[in-house]
Amino acid sequence: MNIAIIYQDTTINPMILSVLQSIFKMLENKNRIYSLITNSNQINDTSTFDVAIIVLLKGNDENLNDKISLLKKKNTTIIVVATKEMQNILPSDSFIDISPNFISFIKNGSLIYTLNKVLNDLESGKNKEYYSPILRRTVIQRAIKAINVNTYLEIGVSNGENFVEIEAPFVIGIDPIEPNKQVKQSLSENRFYFQLKSDEFFKNNKNIFEKRKIDLAFIDGAHNYHQALRDVQNCLNYLRPDGLIIMHDCNPISPIIETPATVYEEACEKVKAIGINPYGYAWTGDVWKTILNIRSTHKDLKVITLDCDFGLGIIKKATPESCLNYSIDQIEQLTYNELEKDRVMLLNLTDPEEFLNSL
């Protein structure tokens, strides 16, 4: 698939240009070749692309409309990336809504994941006219209301972007870093922050769960298989019978995003060495192996992975519809290549809308 990325702005921003180059380098594979275009005049009668992705940030020019008409005559699929109010400026086969703004869309990883999903849908003939990403916060808050959550636990608060928005009667956040200003301001007599590693928290604070069970746990801590697995196991010890565990970063979409590392900074240094701009870098690590472990070793847990926001693993105490049969040693040896061959089956990949509608 030959793909043109057309960056349309009143002024070319070097940082955005660098981030776009990094994003498409992360998405590039043997079936997808990307060309970055910053001037619509680069498109001419000899231009031949299967797909044109137009990143429309500030306005449009008539020349670009003419170029799109030229591409459409050659059966090029047009994907427009813009905020909702700009949806009708250009004709498109698929529109990606980057509201509220492009920068936040990059920082939370929505751009790269959504682009990958649109291209996957296009390759399978299932592309839609409109795409708006479903983020972890939406899934968590819907689940909180659906299963009547009293106690919410979050492992990996980080900058608090998710934590401060969560509404539940009793909220616990865990992270070894000092909480920032917005996290501190969100705390109250029913909202707590433990500046600890998750293993240490569960070891020294068992008394918290003597009178209350965890209704919903969100795991987004260290992005490595072994720690994520321990976090799941610790949460299961205190999870109410019909409670939920939601785990982030279960569906990496490229080997660069899955780069093994112990901390984010280490992963960034590794990808900088191959020309990736860390500003737009989304890192999942090998958390996906946790899904395979649970599906192989727990016949009493139902596990699915929502195909949104880099994969949201959903774990609940129930009889699974299907299991895997990997040994612990086999899981250790698996690489991203094995995941890529059949991620739908391995992760039990599920449409997020289907899950949300089932709550």
- Under a CB-based contact definition with an 8 Å cutoff, are residues 166 and 187 in contact? no
Amino acid, single-letter form, for residue 67: K
- Under a CB-based contact definition with an 8 Å cutoff, are residues 216 and 153 in contact? yes
- pLDDT for 91-136, tens place per residue? 899 999 998 888 888 878 898 999 999 999 999 999 999 999 999 9
> What single DSSP character describes residue 241?
E
Mean pLDDT rounded to a whole number for the chain: 93
Average pLDDT over residues 128-155: 96
3-state secondary structure of 194: strand
- pLDDT for 293-327, tens place per residue? 999 999 999 999 999 999 999 999 999 999 999 99
Strands annotated E in the chain = 2-8, 33-37, 51-56, 77-82, 94-97, 130-131, 151-155, 170-174, 191-194, 214-219, 239-247, 301-306, 312-317, 349-350
pLDDT of 217: 98
Average pLDDT over residues 211-240: 96
Does residue 61 surpass a pLDDT of 80? no
Q: Count H helices, E strands: the chain? A: 14, 14
pLDDT of 10: 66
pLDDT of 60: 62
Q: Which two tokens stand for residue 71?
A: 């591409």
Q: Which residue has the higher pLDDT, 139 or 61?
A: 139
Average pLDDT over residues 277-285: 86
The long-range contacts involving 341-344, CB below 8 angstroms and separated by at least 24 positions, are: 343/251
pLDDT of 59: 65
* Domains detected in the chain: 2-131 (3.40.50.2300), 136-358 (3.40.50.150)
pLDDT of 88: 86
> What single DSSP character describes residue 60?
-
Does residue 51 surpass a pLDDT of 80? yes
Residue 179 binned pLDDT confidence (cut-offs 50, 70, 90): very high
Does residue 263 surpass a pLDDT of 90? no
pLDDT of 108: 81
Average pLDDT over residues 47-62: 84
pLDDT of 145: 96
pLDDT of 119: 94
Does residue 56 surpass a pLDDT of 70? yes
Q: How far is CA 220 from the centre of its chain?
A: 11
Pairing relationship of beta strands 51-56 and 130-131 according to DSSP bridges:
unpaired
Amino acid, single-letter form, for residue 165: E
Residue 38 binned pLDDT confidence (cut-offs 50, 70, 90): confident
Count of C-beta atoms within a 10 Å radius of residue 332: 13
% of the chain beyond a pLDDT of 90? 73
Degrees to nearest 5, angle at CA 338 with 226 and 79: 105
